[in-house]
Chain A
Amino acid sequence: MQVGPLGALTAAVLLGVVAVLAAAFDGTLGARLQGRRAFSGVTAPLWEAARLLRQRRRTIVAADSLLWRIGVVGLLVVALLKVVVVPLGWWTVADLSIGMVWFNAMDVMVWALVWLIGWGANSAHALIGGYRFLGQALSYELPLMFALTGPAIAAGSLRVGDVVAAQQDLWFVVWMPVAFLVFCAGVVAFSVWGPFGAAAGEDIAGGVLAELSGVDRLLVLAGRYALLSAGAGFVVALFLGGGSGPLAPAWVWTLVKTLAVLAALIGVRRLLPVVRPDRLAEVAWIVVLPAVLLQLLLVGVMVVL
């Protein structure tokens, strides 16, 4: 159900809250891993935000400032534009008939934005990071797109609300587990996160982040968490029945499920090593892509029978 203009503001605030929770959870995991009290990490995003607001911005000699700025601001903007099609319970900010395509279009924007962050700085490490992301994107994007199509086929619609409604009886995750996992991996990948964070790797001094300081860095880091959060919300709508659940109202269920998925995505960061894009390509194209296509075939056959 389409909501009025205030919906956009509410959605933005909600995404912000969820993203901050994600950052706090990441801080907690980090603190525990380092042998400190887990709770001491909860405030990490707050301290970090204050630190970056106080820190001076940087520009590099002969940097491509305009493009750099577009990339820096863009991640957060794209994340917000993604949530317009993610239903909260039965409400959607923009109930587009092609909501799935909209989400897909926005996530392809991330290609350009991450690359721009790397390119704009006029710095070798950042440049390597930017191109590395493109190399990674060539591997994750197709499986992601096909995984997205599965629920659309099953629902016979590209409207996200219809996809949620089509899961009244059975959540899609039950008979599309491959698409579900691949889509989750795709969310991690377009958020430059954890195992798919090679573009911001330590080996290239932070890669696309290498030259960012101050509020610019804050925007990029916040944008990453926002992308993860928006992606988690979309996973819930596509595969986990959206707001369906007993007792509590639908919007509560959407939030609860989103936070659960998000926690898993945050947690995966420390469990797995970073996948080098050149190692990823073969696996993505020769193993994952056919697996997703088989999943689609299964879905297609189930739908017509």
Chain B
Amino acid sequence: MSAYLNILLMLFVALVVAGCLYGAARLVAVAREPLTSLPFQSGWEPSEHALSRYHARYYPLAMLFLAFDVEMLFMYPWAVIVADAGIGAVIEMFVFLGVLMAGVVWAWREGALRWT
């Protein structure tokens, strides 16, 4: 368990480092309070807030990614036991990956990997 304690410790160290930097900046900076500014738009005023429903044009790709990402869950335990399980495990995994890859190729042909 001491491994996780060390991770907690590292998290603490990281936050202290960040805190120290903020503290140093408060001492050194020309002003302590942040400047409230308009967003940079080449020198024009924004006509609306930028926070909005952004058109992420790669959403089909994101779907595809999810399929593969879930696959990674199987990949890790498989990596540990594959040497013991033998060639059967390799074949099974790569048939599965092949099926996924076929899906990728299909999506590619459908244009899911292009969004411009």
Chain A positions near chain B (C-beta within 8 angstroms):
2-3, 5, 7-9, 11-12, 16, 52-62, 64, 73, 76-77, 80-81, 83-84, 93-96, 98, 100-101, 119, 121-127, 131, 134-135, 138-139, 141-142, 145-146, 149, 152-153, 156-158, 205, 210-211, 213-215, 218-219, 277-278, 281-282, 285-286, 289-290, 293, 297, 300-301, 303-305
**Interface contact B82-A282, CB-CB below 8 Å:** no
Which one of A9, A138, A300 contacts B82 once the chains associate, using CB atoms below 8 Å? A300
Which one of A125, A131, A282, A293 contacts B114 once the chains associate, using CB atoms below 8 Å? A282
**What does the 1/0 interface line of B71-87 toward A look like (CB < 8 Å)?**
01001100111111111
**What does the 1/0 interface line of B86-103 toward A look like (CB < 8 Å)?**
110110011001000100
6 residue pairs of the A-B complex, CB under 8 angstroms, read A59-B37, A124-B50, A125-B40, A149-B76, A289-B101, A304-B90
Q: A53-B29, A293-B97 are in contact. Are A281 and B113 (CB under 8 A)?
A: yes
Excluding A80-B17, A138-B62, 7 further A-B contacts by CB distance (< 8 Å) are A58-B35, A76-B18, A81-B7, A139-B61, A156-B80, A282-B108, A303-B82
**Interface contact A123-B39, CB-CB below 8 Å:** yes
Chain A min CB distance to B32 (Å) = 9
Chain B interface, >50% SS class = helix
User: B83 to chain A: which residues have CB within 8 Å?
Assistant: 153, 156, 303-304
**Interface contact B101-A12, CB-CB below 8 Å:** no
Chain A min CB distance to B97 (Å) = 6
**Interface contact B30-A54, CB-CB below 8 Å:** yes
Closest chain B residue, CB of each to CB of A206: B40
**Interface contact A281-B40, CB-CB below 8 Å:** no
Closest chain B residue, CB of each to CB of A156: B83
Q: A123-B39, A138-B61, A149-B76 are in contact. Are A80 and B51 (CB under 8 A)?
A: no
User: B49 to chain A: which residues have CB within 8 Å?
Assistant: 62, 122
Which one of B28, B35, B62, B80 contacts A54 once the chains associate, using CB atoms below 8 Å? B28
Q: How far is the CA of A305 from the CA of B40 in the complex (A)?
A: 60
**Interface contact B25-A145, CB-CB below 8 Å:** no
User: B75 to chain A: which residues have CB within 8 Å?
Assistant: 145-146, 149
Which one of B14, B61, B80, B113 contacts A77 once the chains associate, using CB atoms below 8 Å? B14
**Interface contact A80-B29, CB-CB below 8 Å:** no
User: A62 to chain B: which residues have CB within 8 Å?
Assistant: 49, 51
**Interface contact A219-B114, CB-CB below 8 Å:** no
User: B42 to chain A: which residues have CB within 8 Å?
Assistant: 205
Chain B min CB distance to A250 (Å) = 20
**Interface contact A96-B3, CB-CB below 8 Å:** yes
**Interface contact B115-A278, CB-CB below 8 Å:** yes
Q: A53-B29, A215-B21 are in contact. Are A300 and B93 (CB under 8 A)?
A: yes
Q: 4 nearest interchain CB pairs?
A: A123-B39, A215-B25, A57-B34, A94-B3
Q: How far is the CA of A289 from the CA of B36 in the complex (A)?
A: 45
**Interface contact A289-B114, CB-CB below 8 Å:** no
User: B40 to chain A: which residues have CB within 8 Å?
Assistant: 123, 125, 205, 210-211
**Interface contact B25-A122, CB-CB below 8 Å:** no
